[in-house]
């Protein structure tokens, strides 16, 4: 997949200047992180001070710049516009846990952003930066596949360690944090800022905004707790009465309404048209890296199909807390068994939410036995004028040179 176009719009242009609250100067670095209210902004929402406290003794901090959900661009945009703040935040995280190594994990396709990072690192190394940036930071390239940004996938692809599904990156001596979180870590510690804003991507059917649907709108510093409707109104986006609104990315996001609030973990607002109809009967294959079983069932109903069977990707395992995890994220264990089981139950079509590799496998089997294939991301990819998640050429191994 090629880089998607995005346009950056500072939220101050839409909502006016946001008065930034600051912390008392006497606070220590750790106290600033704690009292800023900073949480992991990539989706988990775990308090940053706790993550760094638990990570003490780890040897590396990995900045997750994978941005692997389609249509979302706000992390990549920040790399282009605020590289020093991200690298400074990464350095602060390294200091906090006592690590001398930092890694930015980014897809090789983001050539412009990689060049920006290299330039910021080289400026820092020759003393040409007023930011405190560690000389122990390096860049590692990721393949362009979903879910490249899964924490365990990043640890595997960057450090060569495949963690068990119930293990955290700390087991491999790593702390993983997304790039916006690291930028705000810099702002909390160096500028003493309380976290009250969030970056967002608005994408899909964005008619009224003045931009075409093939562009993602990246909004910087949107006040947390304003409503989705306020964001869409400020952009003059007209939402059709039969539109679907999703918070997050097309794979993992959840349905919202205009009344939903922007939170510290919000990533995207995606506006799509109705689901593609299908006469069914339809079977679903549940996967750990995509939509939940409930969301898949809701989509089957929206398509007007009857549900005739549910199968699981063979890589899925259920943790004691009932969460589904993949044994080896993004590496297909084979899908023939699940597809044939659904066929046996009478499925004429199939709905999947699979990673790139498993989608390829399903596409090698299901159409050949007369089954129509739908992917959970379809309506959103159509809205954002992107290619559907179907079959892809094998990605070539990435050179780290």
Residue 358 interacts with ligand SF4 (CB under 6 A): yes or no: yes
Measured from the CB atom, the residue of 38 and 287 that comes closer to ligand SF4 is 287
Q: Is 329 in the site for ligand SF4 (CB under 6 A)?
A: yes
Rounded CA-CA distance 179/104 in Å is 9
What tokens appear for 394 in the block?
């094998």
Cβ partners under 8 Å of residue 278, min gap 6: 303, 304, 305, 349, 372, 374
Q: State the burial class of residue 252 (Cβ atoms within 10 Å of its Cβ: 0-12, 13-18, 19+).
A: buried
| Residue 148 to residue 355: CA distance in whole angstroms | 9
Alpha-carbon distance 310 to 325, whole Å?
A: 17
Which of the residues 193 through 232 are near ligand SF4 (CB under 6 A)? Answer: none
Among 142, 291, 313, 383, binds ligand SF4 (CB under 6 A): 313
| Nearest distance, CB of residue 313 and ligand SF4, angstroms | 3
Q: Is 252 in the site for ligand SF4 (CB under 6 A)?
A: no
- The residue from 109, 152, 354, 375 that contacts ligand SF4 (CB under 6 A) is 354
Choice between 36 and 361, CB closer to ligand SF4: 361
Residue 315 engages ligand SF4 in binding (rule: CB under 6 A): yes
Ranges assigned E (strand) in 334-382: 349-352, 372-375
Residue of the chain from 330, 339, 351, 360 that contacts ligand SF4 (CB under 6 A): 330
Among positions 120-159, residues that touch ligand SF4 (CB under 6 A) are 147
CB of 397 vs ligand SF4, minimal distance in Å = 19
Shortest gap between Cβ of 329 and ligand SF4 (angstroms)? 5
Give 283's strand partners.
Answer: 309, 350
What is the closest distance, in whole angstroms, from the C-beta atom of residue 72 to ligand SF4 in the complex?
18
Strand order in the sheet with 372-375: 307-312, 282-286, 349-352, 372-375
Residue 356's H or E segment, with its range, is: helix 356-365
Q: Does 365 bind ligand SF4 (CB under 6 A)?
A: no
Judged by CB under 6 A, how many residues of this single chain contact ligand SF4? 15
Bond into 281 cis (ω within 30) = yes
Residue (184 or 354) nearer to ligand SF4, CB: 354
Q: How far is the CB of 368 from ligand SF4 (least distance, A)?
A: 20
Q: Assess 366 for contact with ligand SF4 (CB under 6 A).
A: no
Distance, in Å, from the CA atom of 60 to the CA atom of 90, rounded to the nearest integer, reads 10
Which residue, 165 or 204, has its beta carbon nearer to ligand SF4? 165
Q: Which of 175, 355, 366, 376 binds ligand SF4 (CB under 6 A)?
A: 355
Q: Show the CA angle centred on residue 43, arms to residues 167 and 108, nearest 5°.
A: 80
Sign of CA dihedral 259, 75, 3, 13: positive
CB nearer ligand SF4, residue 158 or residue 326: 326
- Cβ distance 311 to 342 under 8 Å? yes
Among 60, 271, 287, 376, binds ligand SF4 (CB under 6 A): 287
- The answer to whether 68 contacts ligand SF4 (rule: CB under 6 A) is no
**326 part of the interface to ligand SF4, by CB under 6 A:** yes
Among 239, 332, 339, 371, binds ligand SF4 (CB under 6 A): 332
Decide: helix, strand or coil at residue 205.
coil
**C-beta of 323: minimal distance to ligand SF4 in Å?**
12
Taking CB under 6 A as the binding criterion, the range among 44-52, 82-90, 123-131, 284-292 that sits at the site for ligand SF4 is 284-292
* Strand residue runs (E) in 14-75: 60-65
SS3 40: coil
- Closest Cα to residue 381, out of 277, 285, 250? 250
Q: Is 305 in the site for ligand SF4 (CB under 6 A)?
A: no
Q: Which is nearer to ligand SF4, 264 or 326 (CB)?
A: 326
**Residue 29 DSSP SS3:** helix
Measured distance CA(195)–CA(198) in Å, rounded: 8
Residues that bind ligand SF4 (CB under 6 A): 147, 287-289, 313, 315-316, 326, 329-330, 332-333, 354-355, 358
């Amino acid at each position: 997949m090629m880089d998607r176009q995005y346009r950056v719009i500072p939220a101050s242009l839409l909502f006016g200047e946001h008065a930034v609250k600051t912390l008392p100067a006497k606070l220590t670095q750790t106290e600033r992180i704690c009292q800023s209210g900073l949480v992991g902004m990539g989706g988990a929402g775990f308090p940053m001070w706790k993550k760094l406290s638990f990570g003490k003794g780890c040897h590396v901090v990995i900045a997750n710049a994978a941005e692997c959900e389609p249509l979302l661009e706000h992390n990549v945009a920040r790399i282009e516009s605020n590289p020093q703040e991200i690298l400074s935040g990464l350095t602060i995280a390294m200091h906090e846990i006592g690590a001398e190594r930092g890694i930015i994990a980014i897809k090789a396709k983001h050539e412009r952003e990689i060049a920006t990072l290299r330039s910021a690192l080289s400026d820092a190394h020759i003393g040409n930066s007023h930011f405190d940036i560690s000389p122990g930071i390096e860049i590692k390239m990721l393949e362009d596949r979903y879910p490249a940004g899964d924490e365990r996938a990043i640890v595997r692809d960057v450090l060569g360690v495949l963690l068990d599904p119930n293990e955290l990156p700390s087991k491999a001596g790593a702390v993983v944090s997304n790039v916006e979180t690291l930028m705000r870590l810099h702002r909390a510690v160096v500028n003493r800022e309380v976290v009250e804003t969030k970056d967002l991507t608005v994408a899909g059917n964005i008619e009224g905004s003045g931009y075409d649907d093939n562009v993602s709108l990246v909004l910087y510093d949107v006040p947390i707790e304003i409503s989705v409707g306020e964001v869409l109104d400020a952009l003059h986006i007209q939402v059709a009465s039969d539109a679907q609104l999703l918070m997050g990315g097309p794979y993992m996001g959840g349905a919202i309404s205009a009344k939903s609030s922007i939170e510290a973990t919000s990533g995207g607002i995606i506006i799509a048209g109705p689901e593609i109809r299908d006469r069914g009967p339809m079977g679903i294959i549940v996967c750990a890296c995509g939509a939940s079983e409930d969301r898949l069932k809701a989509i089957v109903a929206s398509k007007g199909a009857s549900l005739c069977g549910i199968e699981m990707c063979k890589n899925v395992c259920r943790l004691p807390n009932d969460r589904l995890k993949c044994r080896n994220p993004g590496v297909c264990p084979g899908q023939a068994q699940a597809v044939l089981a659904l066929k046996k139950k009478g499925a004429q079509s199939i709905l999947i939410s699979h990673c790139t590799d498993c989608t390829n496998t399903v596409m090698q089997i299901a159409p050949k036995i007369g089954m129509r294939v739908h992917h959970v991301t379809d309506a959103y990819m159509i809205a954002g004028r992107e290619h559907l998640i179907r079959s892809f050429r094998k990605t070539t191994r990435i050179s780290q040179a």
